[in-house]
Structure formats: structure tokens, C-alpha cells
Structure 1
């Protein structure tokens, strides 16, 4: 059995899976270390993929050749497009998934992948020599070697599970924490912090009173995440909505000190945008109720996920508050809720490529960087896998811009601004969200995925055919005119008619429009959207071009910012610490204001003149 690899990936969660598959598919001999083979791809919290901004990430990963969106479609049991009533920039696909099937499929795809070895073992130490990674050591003492190592450890670094006043080590329920690896990271001078997250109780859905629950069916025409893979989507279950009551809130208030969070046991910082039910009651006292979503965990189980009721209260209190909610009066708990604290590495330790600043060849991806969520983790994983293999080839890393992808926004936010709480992706974080829509992820990123060898020839040909059809149909809409119609004084071009707020593609048929036979509903939706929002898109494109101009002003890694007297002292400190790779990144650093970037640009221009004179 060999112990020499090109790339070693530590962790079999969503981040580690994408990193390992990207590495192996690009031809690198890859090893994936997991604590338990049976838990590969486990959905630790809600068995769902997508949602606001997260759906964008899932589709971007798919466009690059990743697996998350594909398996989400294969294991999906309930599909909805969220935010339909709002603008297209924030439309967000979401799927409820069969938890067990998702994990089984992920393991199957890993086992079938060439160049990839799965190893069940706990990595206890990094092997580093002269500032470069050499490999890893496992708890059993054996050493494995690779010039590139990717850490994707999730919540397992010094994981500590809390339930009321009870605490015990664990990476998640029923699984051991990784304790030794944190000490190894500290040994090499990496800065660690402590975050907290949590999960709600799971209940037996046969014990619910459905007469008091609001049914939430899936969309009549399900839309998933993966493109050009011909997955047939169907809604197999409904989800349900209920709400907390005054009694629920009183139970929580009376028992607040029994919560691990409010009892002072938990020290780590929790996610602001996915708070525990205790946090909701304390921070939003004016709210009379909060929505609770009951979501099935799979087709072959009666287990349901109580979305919105994450808590670290003791089991007996969990039962009381659960039974105070309409429809859940007799609900039987199958798994109790808990909170978990874990170590993460301060994202100031990573470069935009996700390589560690202090250890060459070490890459960090997922919750270890301070993020939360399956999609955020998987997005980092695929980029770490790509860049680790590019490093093997002696090539420059790929750094996606904020103008290219939500993945670019995510990584840039982490590296440039850091995070003082578990980071979650939102559409509001993307300045160019009208251009970075969920419907055009393939147009933005599939060419790159194909160039990297991660998108198959079959998918690529289907993509090219779709783009040809779209281009032809757009040309038809812009040039062909309507028939005579009572609403019109004279025939109008279809594209002009489509700009009217009361006319969509379907209504356009009343004016004589007949789509080409090959054109799919997806292509028609894209054409409609781009024509309706043409003016806004053009304005956004112009803004983006101005931003790209500042991205093309590169900053050398050896600039001594302390010597630039025109910069404020705080700006010098921040610039020295983060070492931005271009002016655009420098402009986004907290503490670096407009006058600082103007002074820096002036200094750069003077330096270029000096260099030209010296030549």
C-alpha cells in the first residue's frame, strides 16, 4: 500500500469531497482521509441544498465540474425556487434532500473516481519542513506524504458538544472530535479562534397533527442545480409550516440559564443569521412568533427536521417547548438538539488562492476558515482542489473575481475582511448580483471548468448547443416583428414588446411570436430576463468594467507600505498584514479609506516612472 501521493485531503465533508474529486479528476494522485467511511458527505444539519445565495454557489460549483449540485438533484425530494416575487438577481433554487441517499451517492462517486484513495484514519499532525508541507501523520503513527495537503476538517477541530449543562467532545453527534490536529496547527504558529453552531431536534413525523400545519408543496415545475446531466426532478414530499407561541417564548425565558449558550458554558461566537431559538427570543422580544418549518429527512424514514428550533437547552425543556407549538403537541423527539463549539483558523492566515500564508503547500477550505454552510464549504473545497493541482504543475492559482462568481465574493470577503462570526453567503454581499444570477452560472464558469478538465466533453457540447440556440433566439426576438394587434398602432419588434411590464414570453405568443422548436423553456426564460432588464444589465456591466480596471492594478507582495508616508498609519498596518494582490482588494480592506487608496495609486504611478527612468 502506497503512502506517497500528490495531494492529501483531510476531511470527508462537503469541502473535502469537492477538493478530492477536483484533484483526482485533474490527474493528481489523491488521498482522502476520513474519520469514518460511513459518514462521507453526511448532511450534519438540515438535509437541504440551496436557498438565497447558497443556490447560486451550488450552481457555480456544478458549472465548474463539482459534485454537490448533481448529487443534490439525484437525491432531491422537494424543490422550490425561492424569492420568485422579487427580482431575478435574488431568485434562489432550494432542494430538500434524502439525507441517507445523498451520503451514499457521494461515497459511491468517490469510490468510482480514478486516482483517488479513501483512507479511514484520524490525522493528528502535519509534517512540515523548512516552511513547506511534507505530508501528515495519523493517530496510529503512520506517515503519508504529499507536497500539497488540503485541510477540510469542518467542526471536528477540538469539537465540543453542548446540551444544557452537559458537554462532551465530538465533531458532531456520535462522532469523535479531532483534538491532536489543533495542537499541530498551533505549533506552526497558525492563529485559531472558536466558533459555535447548533442543530434542532429531529421528530417522528407520524406523531404530528397535520390539521394544524400549513402544507408547503414543491414547485409544479421543479428546477434543480445541475445542468446538462439530464437528471429527472420530481417532488416526492411536502414540507410544513407552523410557528412558535407565547407559551413557547415563556418556556424559553424561564429556562434561559439552563441553555449552554446563556448559562455561560459556550464561549464561541455563533452564527448571526442562523441563530438558536434562545437568541431569537432574547434579541427580538417584540416578535410574538417565529416560523418553524418541518422538513422530511428522507423517503425511507419518518424522521423530520424542525427548522428554526436550533437550541442547546436540556432535553426535558426541548420537549416542553416543542409541545407548545401548534401541530407538535404530541411530537416524539427522535434526536435531541445540541450546540457545538469548534476551532477555526483565522482567515487572515490564507491567501486568495486558499493556500496558507505560513506553510507552503498547505490549503484550507470550508468551516476551518470560519464559514458556515454546505455550499460555502464545497465552494472553497473545489477551489482548493483546483489550485493545489495547479501548484503541482507549477502554474499560477485561479482566483475568481467578485465580478465572476459568488465564489469569488465569498473568498474575497474572508481574505480581505476576515470574519468575527461564522460567515454565511447572502445575495446582498455581491455588488454585481444582477449579473451573477443563478440562471447564468454555466455561461460564467463552465468554460473555465472545461478548460481545467473538470467538465466532460458531453456536457460541454450540450452547453455550446444551448448557447447557440439562445443566441439565435435573441436575434429573432430583436429583429422579427409582431402581427397586427388591437393593442398596437403598428407592428413592434418582439424584444421591444417584451420590455413592457405586463408582457412575458407566454403573452408574446398573442402577438404572433412562435419560439423555435428546439428552444427550451430555460432558454426562453434567459432571453426574456436579459431583454426585460437590458438597461439595468448594461449599467451593471459598465460599473463592473470600472471595478475590473482597479483589479488590473496589481500590487507586488514585497511593497513596504510602512514607508509610504501619504498613507494613514492604520492603512499601513492593514495593508502590511493582508498584502492585497490588487488595488481593488486594497480598497475593500476595513480601515483603508478612499484617500489611502488614492495616495497608494499615486505612489504606484510615481514608482512606475522611476522604474522607466532607471531603464
Structure 2
């Protein structure tokens, strides 16, 4: 065992897993530093991958040689192609996944990747060399007192940096329910001159299926002939799909929720961080759309072998008893038992205008940021950033030119360009409307756009590239 690596990745979420996987498979000796090896790529919120524009990003990750699409295909519970009533550029794949198996599959993938090593610990401080003209990162010191050195460090700490969880008037430090916050990293970066800020996100209560009256709910089934995310022949479409269910609030539910507004950390000034506009809490919806008598919610399974269900659209930081009382006023949930209430979390991020298009920081050489630390929201946006950060950290180490996708090449290019040039004033989420070349950037042609590049940089295998070449030849022959 060594304490010196080519690339060190801090954080085992979706960005960290893609970054570590890419760097290692390209040939860099890589260390992934994570708080908990049992929660790699944990789906902290909705156990689903894809959706409008997000599905295009996952297809692009796969076309470049990333692993998110393959893991998704292996753990899909239900697959739907959204927006089929619209033009082909709007079609967006989405999969409901088995949360536990998704994380387990990622762990299996990483533990069996050559050049990749894992260390379970918490990063406490980044180490720098300030002797030269420009500071450079040299490694990290952990809470256990271990000092790792590296040529490059990729920070993908998600919501853990000085994270604080809120449920009504109760609050506690944490990166998510059951996991501690990470302290020290923000301070060490602020000391180097980095600008920092606070953002907020949230999650809904989790429900016990044994106490739900599914007969009173409207089922929502997957596609009759489901597709899949990965272009690889190594995965297959899901065979047995689980239904989701449509649920609706009512004026009675809204009235119950409003009784807790005076104790809401969102409304009484306790939380200062900015939340995601396009994934608001239920209390935000009631305030913004006060004239609406009902809101549509989605009841979604968290796995094949669990009774845990996710109530999509009911994110909340209201007191737990108010959430509980309101849930009991929803048709089909009159006798529901909750496994845990919803909560909000406030965390540190770094305005992404401090980055180059390679995702390397402008202030410190060899230091890369990816994921929610850049002010984004969503597994897909995080995974895309992690993949590009891992690619560019490796290529800089070996003296090769950086990979910067342009806005007419990929949604990933739009994502990174938006972050670096425009910055963020709220958690950034990808939409088709953000891409001015969206008619060209379809989910079905991501491989035609990006797989040659993925093969060139060493992330697409010869087998997958041969399959791609055959497909491309068939397409060209048909057009001819």
C-alpha cells in the first residue's frame, strides 16, 4: 500500500464515482476517499436516473465511456421515454432504479477497476504547495490523521461541506440523514482565496408500503416495450417492471401544511441558502401557487426487496408532525406509516466561475471541482462533471490536451459552459431549453456524436467500438 497517488478523488457520490472510474481506467493510479463504502453513488433523494435533458446527459456519459448508464440498466425497476408526444429532440429516457442495488453495483464496479483504490475516511484538510508562482494542490489530510499525496485532487463532496439538516425547529449537522457533515475543507479553500456560498436542497418523507391503500391510487406503468440507457450490448432492457402511482394533494392537505409555516426554517429566516427552483418543497409550492387546489405527486418504489416508497413532489422541512398529519389527509395514505420525515439540508458550494472549462480551478493548479460543490443539482449533472474532471485530470498528468466539449457537441458541453461562464444564483438543473443546438443533441444520437472521442481517449473498449462502427455503417447505408 502507498500513500502517494496520481489522482485523489474526495467523495463517493455520483461525481466521485465517475471521476475515479475514468481516471483509473485511463491509466492513473487513483484513490477514492469516501466516508462510507456501503453508500457509493447513494441515491440520497429520488431513486431515479434521467428525465427531461437529464436522460440525454446520461446517454452522453455512456457514449464517452462512463458507467452511470450501465449501472442504471442493471438496476432498473421501470423505464419510460418521456415526451413522446413531442419532437424527437425532446424525447428523454428515465428509469426508476433499485436504490440498494444501484449503490451495490457501483461498489462492485469500482472494487474491480484496475488502478483504483478506496479508503474509507473523511477529508479534513487540503494540502497545498505555495512556493511557486501559482499554488498547487499536493494532497489531503483525513480525520484519522492520514496524509495522502497526489498530482491532482478532484473535490466531489456533494452536500456534505458544513452540511446542516433541518426539520421544523430541529436541526443537526449532517451531509444527509444518518451521515455526518464534513468540516475543514471549506476553511482550507477559503484560506487560499476561494469564494464560497450556501445552497439548500431537500427530500420528502419515506413511506411504508404495508400501510398504503394502493387500490385508491392511480397506477403509472412503464413503457410496453422498454428501451435502456447504455449503448453497450452488455446490458439488456428491464423485463419485469414495477408500477409507480399518481397521488394528489387537496385543500385539506394544504390547510394542514400551512399550520406549520411559522415553524418552517424556509420561511422564518433560519435557512439562508438558495433552494432549487425546479424541485421546490411542498411549502414553497403552496406559497408560490396559492390559488391551486391540488398538486400532483408521484409515489415511487425504492427497490424490489423493500417496502420503502418515495413520495416525489412532497419534499419538506416542516415539523415532522405537520408532515405526518398532512400525509394522512391524502387519499390512499390515510393510515400511512413513515420511515422518516422529510428534511432540508443547507451546504457549502463554490461559485463555478472560479473554474476553467476543464473543471480545474483557476486559483490552484491540479485541483478540480465536480458535482454539487459547483452549485448544481441532480445525479446526472454531477456524474457528467465527475467524468470530465477525471478525464482532464488524467490527461493533464500525462501531458495530453484537455477535453472540452462545445455547446453544439453535447448537453455536457452546455452544462459546463453555463457553469464556468455564467455562474449560478440557484442550484443549476439541466433543461432542453438551455441548449440552443438541442435539435442536434438528441438522446438517440449521443453515440454518433461522442463515442469516437470516448474510444480515442481510452474509455470505450474495442468490443463496444466495433459495435458502434457496425451501427454507424448500417445508418449510413440506410440513408444512402
Q: Smaller-chain TM-score range?
A: over 0.9
Deviation of residue 435 (structure 1)? 0.2
Q: Is residue 358 from structure 1 mapped to residue 358 from structure 2 by the alignment?
A: no
Higher-Rg member (1/2) = 1
Q: 2:257–2:323: 8 Å Cα contact kept in structure 1?
A: no
Give CA-to-partner distance per residue, 1:547-575, whole Å, 9 cap, x none: xxxxxxxxxxxxxxxxxxxxxxxxxxxxx
Give CA-to-partner distance per residue, 1:31-66, whole Å, 9 cap, x none: 000011111111000100000000001110011100
Give runs of aligned pairs for residues 226-245 of structure 1, distance below 5 A: 226-234=230-238, 235-245=240-250
Give CA-to-partner distance per residue, 1:210-245, whole Å, 9 cap, x none: 222110011011112101234222242100001110
SS of the aligned residue for 2:171 comes to strand
Give runs of aligned pairs for residues 18-417 of structure 1, distance below 5 A: 18-130=18-130, 131-234=135-238, 235-417=240-422
CA distance in 1, matches of 2:342, 2:452: 43
Give CA-to-partner distance per residue, 1:164-210, whole Å, 9 cap, x none: 00110001000011011111111111111000000000101121112
CA distance in 2, matches of 1:166, 1:229: 49
Supply the RMSD in Å over aligned alpha carbons. 0.8
Give runs of aligned pairs for residues 457-536 of structure 1, distance below 5 A: 457-475=462-480
Correspondence for 1:522: none
Q: 2:299–2:309: 8 Å Cα contact kept in structure 1?
A: yes
CA distance in 1, matches of 2:108, 2:2: 22
Q: 447, 457, 477: which one pairs with 1:452? A: 457
Give CA-to-partner distance per residue, 1:421-445, whole Å, 9 cap, x none: 0000000000010000000000001
CA distance in 1, matches of 2:389, 2:59: 18
SS of the aligned residue for 2:391 comes to helix
Instruction: Spell out structure 1 runs of 4+ moving beyond 4 A.
Output: none
Q: Which runs of 5+ in 1 are unaligned?
A: 476-615
CA distance in 2, matches of 1:12, 1:433: 31
Deviation of residue 362 (structure 1)? 0.2
Give CA-to-partner distance per residue, 1:151-175, whole Å, 9 cap, x none: 0000000000000001100010000
Give CA-to-partner distance per residue, 1:522-544, whole Å, 9 cap, x none: xxxxxxxxxxxxxxxxxxxxxxx
Deviation of residue 263 (structure 1)? 2.4
Correspondence for 1:507: none
Correspondence for 2:11: 11
Deviation of residue 3 (structure 1)? 0.5
Aligned residues: 475
CA distance in 2, matches of 1:147, 1:467: 39
CA distance in 1, matches of 2:318, 2:237: 38
Q: 2:228–2:236: 8 Å Cα contact kept in structure 1?
A: no
CA distance in 1, matches of 2:176, 2:63: 30
User: Going by fraction, where is strand more abundant, 1 or 2?
Assistant: 2
Correspondence for 1:493: none
CA distance in 2, matches of 1:229, 1:101: 20
Give CA-to-partner distance per residue, 1:297-335, whole Å, 9 cap, x none: 000001100000000011111111111111111111112
SS of the aligned residue for 1:168 comes to strand
Correspondence for 1:536: none
Deviation of residue 255 (structure 1)? 1.7
Correspondence for 1:562: none
Q: 2:302–2:310: 8 Å Cα contact kept in structure 1?
A: yes
Deviation of residue 351 (structure 1)? 0.8
CA distance in 1, matches of 2:170, 2:193: 32
Query: TM-score normalized by structure 1?
Result: 0.77
Q: 2:260–2:319: 8 Å Cα contact kept in structure 1?
A: no
User: Going by fraction, where is helix more abundant, 1 or 2?
Assistant: 1
**Higher RCO (C-alpha under 8 Å, 6+ residues apart):** 2
CA distance in 2, matches of 1:51, 1:75: 16
CA distance in 2, matches of 1:332, 1:35: 30
Deviation of residue 447 (structure 1)? 0.5
Query: TM-score normalized by structure 2?
Result: 0.98
Give CA-to-partner distance per residue, 1:57-101, whole Å, 9 cap, x none: 111001110011110010001000011111111111000000000
Q: Which runs of 5+ in 2 are unaligned?
A: none
Q: Is residue 430 from structure 1 mapped to residue 431 from structure 2 by the alignment?
A: no
SS of the aligned residue for 2:417 comes to helix
